């Protein structure tokens, strides 16, 4: 019976994650395009868009993506072809795998019933469906961490060094997937070692070889830690590198002990950011503050799930075990990286915290009566979410997902090859969409990059913006329309709200070639030609 239920849950999870994967979410975010194209470039040339052979991080528009997702995606993108579907597939498969691993964790900590409930909660949770349907390297990191946790608790149960090695490898791979894991994994391992010190001490000699293997695995990442390519992203978003004053600062008053005390105010700020990841309002009602990372009218979890969470935590308080302590340690450390950045409730950076929440919610509901009511409410909530995600959000949030570049790139392909085209690149990242959707041969772009200098001289050490502004006859830069509108025989691609209709309606020398609209009818791009 449990097996049938588990298969049903997995099928449900797979359907929610795989359906229309190539087209929903509408649009294709720039980070997705960067990951997909660089994976494609690795498959074809063994080098990234800059021509750097097998890099440790991918510096695409100075984000310095960690490598695991891209290297795992490379053969898939190569075999299936460069597309939204193939680029997102690893994240989706990670999400489906996570459902099964969560079942195993809850089953090991409590019983099969808790396992089924936890898996079901994860399968239908808005946050997990959302992050399993986009190219999110953090989702891969999350699944690897979750699997590492599973083998850790298996190791503690059986003191089998193979489990220890698997756990270590999975934790290490998670650190190669996303930045947050580079902070959480060491914190978790150190505290887990303290909690289960006696177990480790019993078999200390058997652990020497696995530890050496794991250390060797970590060397490349450790070497990167002290280069700008390895820490630029983390430092850039940290609250300690911000020049603004902390909240509670009163302007025009000198600092003192009992007023404008920066140390105290920073402690409060970090505390507020940290606790926001445990706030019921954020978890069950408001969700992520960013439009691109949220679903219309939905939050991280369904609101009724607070009942399961409260009950699950209550049960653990009354009767905890070593495994529940480890789960709580995971919960406590998971928001730390996100809390050290200034953004309020950034779900992506705190992705690790939502798995233990999901497990606790599932456990809580598995111990409550009236489980048919739980199932009924779950299905109603899921249907509302499906409508909001598959219909409402695809209309209202298309802009936030860089919708329109596919259509724009296709249209550019219909123009003569030698046509001078200038793309008004306000975000400085339009080029990656063009490369992706036109499947530009990586060697072509690598040649353009090579003209900027020797890539190994700056790749890991210089985090400033370094990229070409031209690909063949296409230019990617800011357009000064009043000055450039007289440049004849030039096609300009302008973002919809930057070029009023009157510019081409009232001027015979400016011809509208194509208008690309968002799903809600507003203008995405206007492509005009100066005659």
Residues that bind other proteins (CB under 8 A): 247-248, 250, 253, 258-259, 261, 264, 268-269, 271-273, 275-276, 278-282, 284-286, 289, 297, 303, 317, 344-345, 383-384, 387-388, 391-392, 394-396, 519-521
- Supply φ then ψ for residue 516, to 5 degrees: -110, 125
Q: How far is the CB of 282 from other proteins (least distance, A)?
A: 7
Alpha carbon of residue 178 to chain centroid = 8
Specify the residue, 159 or 332, whose C-beta has the smaller distance to other proteins.
332
Specify the residue, 213 or 328, whose C-beta has the smaller distance to other proteins.
328
Specify the residue, 268 or 367, whose C-beta has the smaller distance to other proteins.
268
Neighbours of 110 (CB within 10 A): 21
Q: How far is the CB of 2 from other proteins (least distance, A)?
A: 31
Q: How far is the CB of 284 from other proteins (least distance, A)?
A: 6
Beta bridge partners of 341: 238
- Supply φ then ψ for residue 477, to 5 degrees: -165, 175
Specify the residue, 224 or 339, whose C-beta has the smaller distance to other proteins.
339
Specify the residue, 276 or 424, whose C-beta has the smaller distance to other proteins.
276
Q: How far is the CB of 388 from other proteins (least distance, A)?
A: 7
Write the Ramachandran bin of 65: left for phi over 0, alpha for psi from -120 to 50, otherwise beta.
Answer: beta
Output the six-digit token pair for 383. 């249907």
Q: How far is the CB of 410 from other proteins (least distance, A)?
A: 21
Write the Ramachandran bin of 371: left for phi over 0, alpha for psi from -120 to 50, otherwise beta.
Answer: alpha
Q: How far is the CB of 255 from other proteins (least distance, A)?
A: 12
Work out the widest C-alpha separation in the chain, in whole angstroms.
85
DSSP H or E run through 174: helix 161-175
Q: How far is the CB of 396 from other proteins (least distance, A)?
A: 6
Strands 523-530 and 474-477: unpaired
Collapsing DSSP states into helix, strand and coil, what is residue 96?
A: helix
Specify the residue, 397 or 433, whose C-beta has the smaller distance to other proteins.
397
Specify the residue, 20 or 264, whose C-beta has the smaller distance to other proteins.
264
Specify the residue, 236 or 342, whose C-beta has the smaller distance to other proteins.
342
Q: How far is the CB of 291 from other proteins (least distance, A)?
A: 14
As a whole number of angstroms, the distance between CA 73 and CA 42 comes to: 10
As a whole number of angstroms, the distance between CA 58 and CA 418 comes to: 31
Helical spans, DSSP H, in 422-523: 430-437, 442-450, 455-458, 481-484, 502-505
As a whole number of angstroms, the distance between CA 50 and CA 443 comes to: 9
The C-alpha angle with vertex 475 and arms to 469 and 478, in degrees rounded to 5, equals 80
If we measure between CA atoms, which residue out of 518, 523, 521 comes closest to residue 498? 523
Q: How far is the CB of 365 from other proteins (least distance, A)?
A: 16
Specify the residue, 174 or 394, whose C-beta has the smaller distance to other proteins.
394
Specify the residue, 259 or 452, whose C-beta has the smaller distance to other proteins.
259
Specify the residue, 248 or 496, whose C-beta has the smaller distance to other proteins.
248
Alpha carbon of residue 193 to chain centroid = 29
Q: How far is the CB of 250 from other proteins (least distance, A)?
A: 6
Specify the residue, 384 or 466, whose C-beta has the smaller distance to other proteins.
384
As a whole number of angstroms, the distance between CA 22 and CA 24 comes to: 6
Output the six-digit token pair for 32. 């997705």
DSSP category for residue 342 = S
Q: How far is the CB of 229 from other proteins (least distance, A)?
A: 29
If we measure between CA atoms, which residue out of 113, 75, 98, 106 comes closest to residue 17? 98
Place of tokens 């440049």: 487
On whether the CB atoms of residues 449 and 59 are closer than 8 A, the answer is no
Q: How far is the CB of 127 from other proteins (least distance, A)?
A: 16
As a whole number of angstroms, the distance between CA 502 and CA 404 comes to: 22
């Amino acid at each position: 019976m449990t097996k049938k239920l588990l298969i049903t849950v997995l099928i449900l999870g797979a359907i929610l994650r795989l359906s229309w994967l190539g087209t929903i979410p509408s649009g294709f975010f720039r980070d997705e395009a960067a990951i997909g194209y660089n994976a494609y470039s690795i498959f074809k040339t063994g080098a990234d868009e800059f021509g750097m052979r097998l890099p440790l991080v991918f510096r695409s528009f100075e984000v310095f993506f960690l490598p695991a997702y891209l290297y795992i995606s490379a053969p898939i993108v190569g075999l299936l072809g460069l597309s939204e579907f193939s680029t997102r597939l690893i994240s989706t498969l990670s999400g489906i795998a996570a459902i099964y691993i969560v079942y195993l964790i809850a089953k090991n900590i409590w019983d099969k019933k808790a396992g089924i409930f936890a898996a079901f909660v994860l399968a239908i949770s808005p946050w997990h469906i959302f992050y399993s349907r986009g190219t999110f390297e953090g989702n891969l990191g999350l699944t690897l961490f979750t699997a590492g946790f599973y083998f850790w608790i298996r190791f503690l149960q059986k003191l089998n060094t193979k489990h220890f090695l698997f756990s270590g490898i999975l934790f290490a791979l998670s650190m190669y997937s996303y930045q947050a894991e580079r902070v959480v994994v060491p914190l978790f391992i150190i505290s887990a070692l303290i909690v289960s010190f006696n177990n480790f001490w019993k078999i200390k000699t058997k652990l020497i070889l696995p530890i050496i293997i794991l250390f060797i695995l970590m060397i490349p990442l450790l070497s990167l830690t002290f280069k700008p390519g390895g820490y630029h992203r983390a430092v850039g978003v940290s609250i300690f590198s911000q020049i603004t004053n902390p909240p509670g600062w009163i302007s025009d008053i000198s600092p003192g002990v009992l007023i404008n005390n920066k140390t105290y105010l920073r402690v409060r700020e970090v505390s507020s950011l940290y606790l926001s990841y445990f706030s019921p309002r954020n978890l069950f009602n408001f969700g992520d503050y960013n439009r691109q990372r949220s679903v219309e009218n939905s939050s991280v979890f369904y609101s009724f799930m607070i009942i399961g969470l409260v009950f699950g935590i209550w049960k653990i308080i009354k009767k905890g075990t070593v495994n529940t302590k480890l789960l709580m340690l995971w919960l406590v450390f998971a928001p730390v990286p996100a809390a050290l950045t200034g953004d309020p409730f950034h779900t992506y950076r705190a992705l690790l915290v939502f798995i233990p929440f999901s497990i606790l919610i599932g456990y809580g509901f598995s111990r409550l009566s009236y489980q048919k009511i739980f199932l009924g409410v779950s299905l109603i909530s899921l249907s509302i979410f499906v409508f909001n995600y598959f219909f409402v959000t695809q209309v209202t949030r298309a802009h936030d997902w860089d919708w329109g570049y596919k259509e724009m790139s296709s249209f550019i392909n219909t123009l003569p090859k030698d046509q001078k085209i200038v793309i008004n690149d306000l975000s400085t990242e339009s080029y990656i969409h063009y490369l992706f959707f036109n499947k530009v041969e990586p060697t072509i772009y690598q040649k353009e990059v090579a003209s900027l200098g020797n890539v190994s001289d700056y790749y890991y050490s210089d985090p400033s913006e370094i990229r070409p502004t031209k690909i063949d006859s296409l230019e990617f830069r800011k357009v000064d329309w009043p000055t450039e509108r007289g440049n004849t025989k030039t096609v300009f691609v302008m973002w919809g709200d930057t070029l009023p209709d009157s510019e081409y309606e009232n001027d015979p020398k400016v011809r509208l070639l194509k208008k690309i609209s968002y799903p809600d009818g507003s203008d995405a791009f206007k492509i005009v030609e100066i005659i």
